[in-house]
Amino acid sequence: MEGIPPLFLRFKSKKLDLFDKLITDMGPLGRHSYLPEDYFMFPKLEGEIKPRMKFQGREMLTWSLNNYLGLANHPEVRKADREAAEKYGLAYPMGARMMSGNTVEHIKLEKMLADFIKRESVMLLNYGYQGVLSIIDALVDRKDVIVYDAESHACIVDGVRLHLGKRFIFQHNNIEDLQKKLHNAKKIADETGGGILVITEGVFGMSGSMGNLKDIVKLKKKFGFRLLVDDAHGFGTMGPTGAGTDEEQGVQADCDLYFSTFAKSMAGIGAFVGGDEKVIKYLRFNTRSQIFAKSLPMSFVLGMQKRLELLKTNPELKNNLWKIVRALQDGLKKEGFNIGSTQSPVTPVLFKGGTGEAANAAMDVRENFNLFCSVVIYPVVPKGVIMFRMIPTAVHTLEDVDETIKVFAEVKKKLDDGVYRRMELIELESDR
């Protein structure tokens, strides 16, 4: 790299128009934009949401949808969605909750959720990403200190970006490092008179590992922090009743704020945050993404009530999911695959290889085996690692699992034999 000036210095000598600059450097993901659209980036999965869907006109066995409990296409869900849309359309209620967008059904859904996750109160959020970002913004001021896990989702990272005070990142799930960072955070908070907010996830969406909530909450007494848990992947999938990763680890009472989206197990749109009544009341008056944006449409709210009712009353949904998870993960391990540290339905399969090989392998899987799953490459995983990421659901079958393991056995053989390396490499920008 010696001799090549950094990008901003190169632009310094020749002033570029804003848009010219943007299209010169498309950004970390945009760098892959030259790849065939609709294939690696922005692929289109068509048809009903179920394990077999159409991709490029062909039926594929699909492991790419966070429809953990199979609710997306559940007949009762489809009926509830249909009837609610028929009755209310998508417009009602108009406006933000605080102004003109509140209804008894929004309040009812909040009560149902609060009961289920064992919190005093819940606030609905119109989207998870904006919700988390804005909750973080509302919770802290410049005197406060944030300490968050290094593998946090973009919504947490972006929420922390809004923070005007100090922040520390702790190594992923590393309690020793968290203690070090809390020590530093406490020093600052003692000086400023501020508080400390620790943020982590229940289930990490890429690796599938659980946040070490049990050990984190043990540190609360010593360091006096509050804990926000993003459990997007744990709600509905973890814990005896499906109430989440904090239920799974027996620490619901110690996780001060519990967040989840409706975009995964609930197969919908929207999100929620639960906690003590007074804190949630504060958030209702201070979460800018909710105060200055339209509330969830009624048809979404009624649809989520139906999903939650099914989630609570049909334990077989979660049992089916875990039957598939166990079969898939045990089967892959038995065949000698590296599935990393997952403790949840998220199932990564890790191979060694360059990103060009990853693209060839992904194409082979799609073109020759009619199997569709996400392929994750550098910078999300370290250079030289290829991750196929699979999301089992309650509506996959054991036959789907067997078929998939056979496909992966073929892929592994080809990777080991260097077949994908010898094929014409689809060059990805991150290899250049």
Ligand X SMILES: Cc1ncc(COP(=O)(O)O)c(C=O)c1O
Residues 387 to 426 in contact with ligand X, rule: CB under 6 A: none
Binding flag, residue 148, ligand X (CB under 6 A) = no
Give min distance, CB of 237 to ligand X, in A. Answer: 12
DSSP string, 157-199: HHHHHT--S-EEEE-TT-HHHHHHHHHHHHHHHHHHT--EEEE
Summary count for the chain: helices (H), strands (E): 18, 14
Q: Is 358 in the site for ligand X (CB under 6 A)?
A: no
Nearest approach, Cβ of residue 412 and ligand X (Å): 28
Distance CA 87, CA 248 (A): 38
* Residue 64 token pair: 């790419």
Among 105, 110, 144, 201, binds ligand X (CB under 6 A): 201
x/- binding map, residues 277-316, to ligand X, per CB under 6 A?
----------------------------------------
Would you call the peptide bond into 345 cis, given omega within 30 degrees of 0 as the criterion? no
β-strand pairing of 145-149 with 167-170:
parallel
CA distance 378 to 395: 31
Largest CA distance in the chain: 65
Tell me the window of 73-81, 110-118, 126-134, 190-198 that interacts with ligand X (CB under 6 A): 126-134
Q: What are the beta bridge partners of residue 263?
A: none
The minimum distance between CB 271 and ligand X, in angstroms, equals 5
Closer residue to ligand X (CB): 271 or 327: 271
Report the amino acid identity of residue 301.
V
In terms of C-beta distances under 8 Å and separation of at least 24 residues, what long-range contacts does 312-317 make, across chains too?
312/116, 312/241, 312/242, 315/241, 315/242, 317/69, 317/70, 317/71, 317/394
Q: Which is nearer to ligand X, 81 or 151 (CB)?
A: 151
User: By rule CB under 6 A, what count of residues binds ligand X?
Assistant: 13
CB 227, min distance to ligand X, A: 15
* Amino acid occupying residue 200: T
| Interacting span for ligand X (CB under 6 A) from 85-93, 121-129, 301-309, 385-393 | 121-129
What letter does residue 39 receive in the DSSP assignment? T
Q: Do strands 52-55 and 196-201 pair parallel, antiparallel, or not at all (unpaired)?
A: unpaired
Which of 35, 85, 112, 263 is the binder for ligand X (CB under 6 A)? 263
Nearer to ligand X, 132 or 145 (CB): 132
Task: By CB under 6 A, tell whether 365 contacts ligand X.
Answer: no
Site for ligand X contains 208 (CB under 6 A): no
- Rounded to the nearest whole angstrom, what is the least distance from the CB of residue 315 to ligand X in the complex? 24
Binding window for ligand X (CB under 6 A); candidates: 110-118, 124-132, 185-193, 379-387: 124-132
- Number of Cβ atoms within 10 Å of the Cβ of 378: 17
Beta strands in 340-423 (DSSP E): 347-352, 371-372, 374-376, 385-390
Q: Under the criterion CB under 6 A, does residue 128 sit at the interface with ligand X?
A: yes
Regarding 246 and contact with ligand X (CB under 6 A), the answer is no
Site for ligand X in 23-82 (CB under 6 A): none
Nearest residue (CB) to ligand X, 70 versus 211: 211
Among the listed ranges 1-9, 45-53, 122-130, 176-184, the one in contact with ligand X (CB under 6 A) is 122-130
230 near ligand X (CB under 6 A): yes
Residue nearest to ligand X as judged by C-beta position: 128
Spatial distance between the Cα atoms of 112 and 307, rounded to a whole number of angstroms? 11
Q: Which is nearer to ligand X, 249 or 360 (CB)?
A: 249
Single residue of 88, 129, 300, 408 touching ligand X by CB under 6 A: 129
Contact between 173 and ligand X per CB under 6 A? no
- Residue 235 as a binder of ligand X (CB under 6 A): the answer is no
Residue closer to ligand X (CB basis): 267 or 411: 267
Query: Which of 228, 171, 231, 172 lies closest to 195 in space, CA to CA?
Result: 228
237 or 360, CB closer to ligand X?
A: 237
Q: Give CA–CA dist 93/367, Å, rounded.
A: 45
At closest approach, how far in Å is the CB of 52 from ligand X? 24
Tell me whether residue 117 or residue 361 sits nearer to ligand X (CB atom): 117
155 binds ligand X (CB under 6 A): yes
Angle between helices 398-416 and 355-369 (to 10 degrees): 140
Residues in the chain: 432
Residue 273 binds ligand X (CB under 6 A) = no
DSSP state of 6: P
CA proximity to 283, closest of 106, 104, 142, 136? 136
Select from 268, 267, 211, 251 the least CA-distant residue to 234.
Answer: 211
Under the criterion CB under 6 A, does residue 236 sit at the interface with ligand X?
no
Question: CA 340, CA 347: separation in Å to the nearest integer?
Answer: 8
Q: What is the contact surface with ligand X in residues (CB under 6 A)?
A: 127-129, 132, 153, 155, 201, 205, 230, 232, 261, 263, 271
